[in-house]
């Protein structure tokens, strides 16, 4: 049968298209055409059952072998359930990291998305040959019992038409998946924003109604009323700013107003603002906030000035450090927050600075640390398990730092009796 495939796939100016009625011949041809692949297989399964039948037939094992041994690129469109998902996960684990680059799957529901091809299995090999197998009875477990006739072709126009169908569905599913994710995130964003807005808005409304109903009582309680209204107004203001920032980041219109400034001064100002917030909020957090120089950490004199200049958007960097400090306070009811600025150890006084030199800012706390469930998605949108906040602060901070050409990362302070977490970001030094 292999020779038959080779003859049909050989040099031919027009090629040929043949209808095959013998089911056993279709089965042998299906297996042989998979074995013949040298660099690419495109495969469409119309149903979950058709995929599972081909898996029992050994086709999926042959695909796996082709990826590992010949680095064949494989793309599959198929409906997916838990059984199919487990099979794919097993393939990914077996084929290795290198071969995974050659393997892509997209889920599709042909009931709604592509009724024209929901009754056939289509395989295209090396853009030269195609095999289209009719599905007659999807309830059958055996491949031969489930199929009807098949159409084999090595005619270029015919093969190209099936490639066009595959690529159209592939791109359609990619777009559908992106729209689905976007719609899901948009709904999550609306739900979280509405929830975060509801609490301060109701508080403001309640106090305004109380003031209107009993103005004399309000005169006696003016200070506490103003304090509550200020805190809730501040929450609404911050949420609106976060929403606008996310919109700018998503639309790639986040503009930076870069100037040269002393990073140490900015950090000290941020620390003073945090201390002031603790006082204004009458916070129950028994937390000290301090600035540490490299001298404090390494225990030795450093050979450069404590004034470290960067060329960046001062307000945006202030926003990042404030986000990190606020985040640390949420999970540190008592203890210490330390802000540290450090430079590369290989830096020497008098060394000519270049664009590759950077400064690292660290915010270390002694709180509960980063939840293991949150850690993998820490800097993505809505990654939060706290009872307040939208989970947007770290996402916005990451986008701001990366827009400056820096990096941001985090770790738990494990070992040596330490607790809490440390968040760090790097920025290029001013030249």
Q: List, as one string, the DSSP characters of 267-308.
A: HHHHHHHHHHHHHHTT---EEEEEEE-HHHHHSS--SS-S--
pLDDT of the residue at 175: 83
Pair 329, 321: CB distance under 8 Å:
no
Beta strands 120-125 and 129-135 are antiparallel
CATH of domain 177-253: 1.10.287.130
Q: List, as one string, the DSSP characters of 314-344.
A: HHHHHHHHHHHHHHHHHT-SEEEEEEEEE--
pLDDT of the residue at 393: 84
Alpha-carbon span 363 to 410, nearest angstrom = 9
Phi and psi torsions of 157, nearest 5°: -60, -40
Alpha-carbon span 195 to 392, nearest angstrom = 14
Closest by CA to 37, choosing from 78, 3, 70, is 70
Beta strands 129-135 and 147-153 are antiparallel
pLDDT of the residue at 77: 93
> How many CB atoms are located within 10 Å of the residue 29 CB?
23
Domain 256-428 maps to which CATH number in 3.30.565.10, 3.40.50.12240, 3.40.190.10, 3.90.1150.10?
3.30.565.10
3-state secondary structure of 364: strand
Please report how the helices 48-57 and 23-35 are oriented relative to each other, as an axis angle in degrees rounded to 10.
Answer: 80
> How many CB atoms are located within 10 Å of the residue 86 CB?
10
Alpha-carbon span 285 to 333, nearest angstrom = 5
Q: Which uninterrupted H or E stretch holds 23?
A: helix 23-35
Q: Where are the domains of the chain?
A: 2-154, 177-253, 256-428
Q: List, as one string, the DSSP characters of 177-240.
A: HHHHHHHHHHHHHHHHHHHHHHHHHHHHHHHHHHHHH-HHHHHHTHHHHHHHHHHHHHHHHHHH
What's the Cα-to-Cα distance from 97 to each of 91, 126, 357, 406, rounded to whole Å? 11, 23, 33, 28
Q: Which residue, chain included where needed, has tokens 């600035």?
A: 291
Alpha-carbon span 3 to 112, nearest angstrom = 40
Tens-digit pLDDT profile for residues 330-384: 888 888 888 988 875 544 444 444 435 888 999 998 888 888 888 888 887 766 6
Closest by CA to 170, choosing from 74, 100, 264, 251, is 74
pLDDT of the residue at 297: 43
Listed in sequence order, the residues at least 6 apart from 58 whose beta carbon sits closer than 8 Å to its beta carbon are 31
Phi and psi torsions of 241, nearest 5°: -60, -40
CATH of domain 2-154: 3.30.870.10
Can you state the percent helix, strand and coil of the chain, rounding each to 5? 50, 20, 30
Tokens of 228: 């509550």
Which parts of the chain have pLDDT scores under 70?
A: 1-14, 98-99, 110-117, 185-186, 188-189, 192-193, 195-196, 217-220, 223, 280-285, 293-306, 344-356, 382-391, 415-417
pLDDT of the residue at 214: 73
pLDDT of the residue at 40: 95
pLDDT of the residue at 426: 92
**How far, in whole angstroms, is CA 172 from its chain's centroid?**
21
Report the first-to-last Cα separation within the chain, whole angstroms: 70
Pair 293, 342: CB distance under 8 Å:
no
Residue 390 is given by DSSP the state: -
Alpha-carbon span 144 to 57, nearest angstrom = 10
In the chain, DSSP finds a helix count (H) and a strand count (E) of 14, 14
Alpha-carbon span 67 to 69, nearest angstrom = 6
């Amino acid at each position: 049968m292999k020779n038959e495939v080779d003859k049909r796939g050989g040099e031919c100016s027009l090629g040929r298209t043949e209808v095959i009625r013998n089911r056993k011949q279709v089965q042998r041809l299906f297996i042989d055409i998979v074995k013949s692949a040298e660099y690419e297989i495109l495969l469409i399964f119309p149903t979950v059952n058709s995929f599972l039948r081909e898996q029992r037939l050994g086709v999926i094992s042959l695909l796996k072998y082709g990826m590992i041994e010949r680095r064949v690129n494989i793309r599959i469109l198929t409906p997916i359930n838990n059984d199919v998902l487990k099979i794919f996960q097993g393939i990914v684990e077996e084929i290795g990291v290198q071969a995974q680059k050659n393997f892509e799957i997209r889920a599709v529901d042909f009931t709604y998305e592509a009724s024209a091809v929901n009754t056939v299995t289509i395989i295209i090999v090396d853009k030269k040959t195609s095999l289209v197998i009719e599905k007659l009875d999807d309830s059958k477990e055996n491949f031969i019992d489930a199929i009807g006739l098949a159409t084999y072709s090595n005619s270029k126009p015919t093969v190209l038409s099936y490639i066009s169908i595959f690529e159209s569905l592939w791109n359609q599913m990619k777009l559908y998946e992106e729209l689905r994710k976007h719609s899901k995130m948009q709904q999550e964003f609306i739900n979280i924003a509405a929830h975060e807005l509801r609490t301060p808005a109701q508080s403001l409304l309640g106090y305004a109604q109380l003031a209107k109903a009993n103005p004399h009582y309000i005169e006696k309680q003016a200070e506490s009323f103003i304090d509550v209204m200020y805190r809730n107004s501040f929450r609404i203001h911050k949420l609106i700013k976060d929403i606008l920032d996310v919109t700018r980041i998503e639309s790639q219109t986040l503009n930076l107003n870069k100037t040269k400034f002393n990073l140490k001064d900015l950090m000290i100002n941020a620390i003073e603002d945090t201390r002031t917030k603790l006082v204004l909020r009458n916070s129950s957090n028994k937390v000290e906030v301090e600035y540490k120089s490299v001298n404090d950490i390494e225990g030795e004199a450093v050979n450069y000035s404590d004034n470290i200049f960067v060329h960046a958007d001062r307000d945006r960097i202030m926003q990042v450090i404030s986000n990190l400090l606020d985040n640390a306070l949420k999970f540190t009811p008592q203890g210490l927050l330390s802000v540290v600025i450090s430079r590369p150890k290989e830096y020497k006084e008098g060394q000519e600075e270049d664009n590759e030199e950077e400064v690292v800012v660290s915010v270390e706390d002694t709180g509960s640390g980063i939840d293991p469930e949150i850690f993998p998605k820490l800097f993505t949108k809505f990654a939060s398990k706290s009872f307040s906040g939208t989970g947007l602060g770290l996402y916005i901070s990451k986008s701001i730092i990366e827009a400056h050409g820096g990096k941001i990362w985090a770790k738990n302070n494990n070992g040596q009796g330490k607790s809490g977490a440390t968040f760090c970001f790097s920025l290029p030094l001013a030249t």
